[in-house]
């Protein structure tokens, strides 16, 4: 029994970041890396299933990215993932979410997991596409934005509680194996223990090339993508009128605004 959890090393930007000369991305010097917030929940859900099953489940985390992504895989190993796989070659540059999903699908065909968990979206570009594209390419049953899961490892079906807009939910029963994108709040992710972090530092990360997964050049990178970034720019956005001064002065002005709103202002 195996659960594959796909993760992403997400990027936030340093203050005063600059654009690349070709205008199609932000200069990499200004990237700050982290593990995608959603992925903590996806991994946690897999770990809970593993622990509930007495350990007879292998949890494999996988990502697509250069060396720097090892750091995020190690965070997952530190929390108890059994194996970590990183797929990369320079040919994967310029991949959009669908091209990424093609690579993940090739890995999934090789790993033959019983379930695949991904995050609903990534905190940087928020496409919300990779996990479900992966399901489509594998032609597996799928459900998006799962906020509750009832699944016994090895079972033919799972019951997923999908979070809808406006505080509503829809419960669906779906066939397994399945691909689920998991939503924030489905569980409370654990922190890695110091011991886990220490051990993870020396554990191997399997590195795989797209070639080794049998992917042809036309399937990966820009050629395997359904979109291309033409240009990135900093939008002109609104800016609040800032209330300056000491905290006491700021609060006094805020108090006045509230009183004005309540019709009590002098």
Partner 1 sequence: MSGILLVVEHRQGQLRPVSLEVIGAAVAAKEASGEAITVTVLAAQPDAYVDALKLAGVDEIVTVQTAHDAFDPDTYEAVTRALIDARAPSLVLLPHTIDTLGYAAPLAAKGNYGFTTDAFGLARDGDAWLATRSGYGQKVNMEIEFPDKATVVVTLRPGSFKAPEDVATPTVSTFAAPAVTLRSTHIEFEEPAASSAVDIPGAEFILSIGRGIGEETHVEQFKELADAVGAALGCSRPIADSGWLPKAHQVGQSGKTAAACKLYIAMGISGSVQHMAGMKHVDNIIAVNTDPEASIFTIARYGIVGDIFEIGEELRTHF
Q: Which of 31, 83, 84, 78 is nearest to 57 (CA)?
A: 83
Cis omega (within 30 of 0) for bond into 215: no
The answer to whether 103 and 133 are in contact (CB under 8 A) is no
Q: Which stretch binds partner 1 (CB under 8 A): 67-75, 78-86, 204-212, 249-257?
A: 249-257
20: which residues sit within 8 A by CB, 6+ positions away? 26, 27, 28, 232
Shortest distance, position 17 Cβ to partner 1, whole Å = 7
What's the gap between Cα 203 and its chain centre?
22
By the rule CB under 8 A, 182 interacts with partner 1: no
Rounded-to-integer distance, Cα 188 and Cα 18, Å: 36
- Considering only 52, 170, 216, 265, the residue that binds partner 1 (CB under 8 A) is 170
* Positions 216 through 245 that interact with partner 1 (CB under 8 A): 226-235, 237-243
Rg of the chain taking only CA atoms, in angstroms: 22
Shortest distance, position 225 Cβ to partner 1, whole Å = 9
Q: Which is nearer to partner 1, 3 or 99 (CB)?
A: 99
By the rule CB under 8 A, 247 interacts with partner 1: yes
Shortest distance, position 155 Cβ to partner 1, whole Å = 14
* Positions 121 through 140 that interact with partner 1 (CB under 8 A): 123-133, 135-137
* Positions 60 through 119 that interact with partner 1 (CB under 8 A): 96-98, 101-102
């Amino acid at each position: 029994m195996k659960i594959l959890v796909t993760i992403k090393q997400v990027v936030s930007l340093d203050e005063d970041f600059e654009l690349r000369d070709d205008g199609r991305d932000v200069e990499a010097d200004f990237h700050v890396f982290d593990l995608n917030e959603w992925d903590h929940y996806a991994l946690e859900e897999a770990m809970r299933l593993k622990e509930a099953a007495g350990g007879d489940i292998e949890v494999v985390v996988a990502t697509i990215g250069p060396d720097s992504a090892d750091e995020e895989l190690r965070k997952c190993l530190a929390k108890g993932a059994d194996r970590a796989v990183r797929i990369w070659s320079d040919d994967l540059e310029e991949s959009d979410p669908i091209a990424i999903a093609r690579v993940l699908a090739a890995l999934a065909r090789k790993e033959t997991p019983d379930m695949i968990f991904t995050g609903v979206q990534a905190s940087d570009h928020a496409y919300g596409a990779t996990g479900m594209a992966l399901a489509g390419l594998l032609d597996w049953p799928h459900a998006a934005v799962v906020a509750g899961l009832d699944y016994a490892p090895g079972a033919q079906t799972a019951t997923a509680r999908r979070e809808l807009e406006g505080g509503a939910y829809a419960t669906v029963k779906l066939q397994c194996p399945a691909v689920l994108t998991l939503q924030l709040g489905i569980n409370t992710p654990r922190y890695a223990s110091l011991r886990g972090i220490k051990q993870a530092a020396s554990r191997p990360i399997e590195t795989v090339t797209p070639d080794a997964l049998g992917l042809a050049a036309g399937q990966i990178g820009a050629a395997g993508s359904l979109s291309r970034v033409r240009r990135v720019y900093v939008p002109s956005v609104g800016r609040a009128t800032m209330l300056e001064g000491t905290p006491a002065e700021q609060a006094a002005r805020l108090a006045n605004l509230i009183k004005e709103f309540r019709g009590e202002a002098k």
